[in-house]
Every structure is written in C-alpha cells, then in structure tokens.
A = this chain, B = another copy of it.
Amino acid sequence: MSEIVLADLPEDVQADVARTRQVVSDLHAELPRWGVVVWTAGNVSQRVRCAEQIGQDLLVIKPSGVRYDQLGPEKMVVCTLDGTKIVDGTSDKLSPSSDTAAHAYVYAHMPEVGGVVHTHSSYATAWAALRRPIPCVLTMMADEFGGEIPVGPFALIGDDSIGRGIVETLRNSNSPAVLMANHGPFTIGGDAEAAVKAAVMCEEVARTIHLAYQAGTPVPLDPEAVTRLNDRYQHVYGQH
C-alpha cells in the first residue's frame, strides 16, 4: 500500500480527522483525572469512519511515550487499520502508541466499535494478574457491563495476538471491558468517550468488588436482574 498523505484526502475526511484528533487529545486528560493511569501508561483511540470516501477507515491514537500534560491535537497520530502511520503534517516525527496494533485489530474486526482504551489501572490489573473475571455483584456493574468482566488470554506484544485475544473474548460477552491476562484492561465503545467511560467504570467496580471480597463474600445478583438493569441502562440512561 502506498503512503497516505492527509493533505491529499477529501476535505470532509480532513475535517473529520481534525475533529477526532481534538476529541482524542482531550480525552487523554480524563485518564489521569480519574486515576486510571500513571506517567504514560495508557492510551485512547477513535475510529474515523471514512471508508465510503477513501476505501478504508482510519484511527487516531496517542503518540508513544509522550506525557499526558504534553499532548495536543497536533501530536495525535493517524493510522490505517493495519496500523500504518499516515503523513499528517504535524506528528510526523512521532511514533504511534506501542499498543496501536491491538487497537487497529479491534477496529478491523469489530465494525461497530468506534473507540478503544487501554490502561493498567491498579485494581483491574490486579484481577488480570490473577486471571480472575470480576463477578457482577453491583447494580452499577450490571448497568455498564451487563455481567462479569471477562479475562482474555496471555498474549505478547509484537504480532496480532493481543488484538485477537481482545476480539475473541469480547465477542462472547456483554462487557465492553476485557482484562488481558497479566497485562491489564482494554475497553471498547461506540466512540472514544464511551470507551474511556468503560475504562473508568472498570477500575471503579474492580476496586469496589476487590474491597468487598477482602471483607467477606458479596451477595451475587440474580441474572435476570442483571439483564433488566443492563437493558434499561443501555437504552434509557443519559441524554437521547
């Protein structure tokens, strides 16, 4: 595939990319705000839906190893869904996040997904180190996750095994979050904001349920109640 240059793309696609870079840059500030990352250890991406115009979608993601307070829309990196960086004019000296291949695999294989987030948030990652799914014992967890948060396989960075592990696990689950074994959570959503929300809520339920198990055994939720809560939340909560 020959190199893609942002300035050569149709104007509406360029505008979409610009909007997405602003959104993705801004959302990175939510990660330290809610305590789900330290230093540079987490990243947000969002899909640009431009397959009709240019024959393929793009994704916008954090540059690798840059601290959150040094980000800005012009530093967000634009890639194709096979993880190749395009020439965008402002971030050309920056490498994309080392997790780009995993994000790209998810977009390529789950067309409904518009946003992906990866963190190593402490409590969720502790469950991941134990390779233990988080049981659904809270109404807020039924709302957001529709059941347990599942564990994905142990996979090493460097090929598509992380991406495959995420996709295979989430396809068999209601949950927008997966705990990759000995690694940490990946979350998905209709857009990047929804995926960030899932990352923040994943850590919150991981913490609360960890604390409950330290003191006893939480009362499980009835599966029918979980279904009712999840249906209602997905269709009624928020502004429509």
Interface, chain A (partner B; CB < 8 A): 34, 38-39, 41, 63-66, 93-95, 98, 120, 122-123, 125-127, 129-132, 137-140, 154, 156-158, 181-184, 197, 200-201, 203-204, 207-219, 221, 225, 228-229, 232-233, 236-240
Asked whether A120 and B132 contact (CB < 8 A) given A212-B126, A237-B98, A240-B95, the answer is no
Give the complex CA separation of A37 and B157 in angstroms.
32
Q: Is the CB of B38 within 8 A of A239?
A: no
Q: Is the CB of A126 within 8 A of B211?
A: yes
Provide the residues of chain B in CB contact with A98, threshold 8 Å: 233, 236-237
In the complex, how many angstroms separate the beta carbon of A99 from the nearest chain B beta carbon?
A: 10
Q: Which 3 A-B pairs have the closest CB atoms?
A: A65-B238, A126-B211, A129-B218
**In-complex Cβ contact of A38 among B34, B183, B215, B217 (8 A):** B34
Q: Is the CB of B34 within 8 A of A208?
A: no
Number of copies: 4
Provide the residues of chain B in CB contact with A140, threshold 8 Å: 41, 120, 125, 183-184
Q: Is the CB of A182 within 8 A of B138?
A: yes
Q: Is the CB of B214 within 8 A of A214?
A: yes
**In-complex Cβ contact of A122 among B122, B125, B132, B207 (8 A):** B207
**In-complex Cβ contact of A156 among B122, B130, B131, B229 (8 A):** B229
Asked whether A138 and B183 contact (CB < 8 A) given A39-B34, A158-B232, A218-B129, the answer is yes
Closest to A125 in B: B208
Provide the residues of chain B in CB contact with A229, threshold 8 Å: 156-157
Q: Is the CB of B65 within 8 A of A239?
A: yes
Q: Is the CB of B156 within 8 A of A138?
A: no
**In-complex Cβ contact of A95 among B123, B129, B239 (8 A):** B239
Q: Is the CB of B182 within 8 A of A218?
A: yes
Give the complex CA separation of A214 and B66 in angstroms.
33
Q: Is the CB of A39 within 8 A of B183?
A: no
Provide the residues of chain B in CB contact with A120, threshold 8 Å: 138, 140, 204, 208
Give the complex CA separation of A127 and B214 in angstroms.
11
Closest to A218 in B: B129
**In-complex Cβ contact of A219 among B156, B181, B184, B225 (8 A):** B181
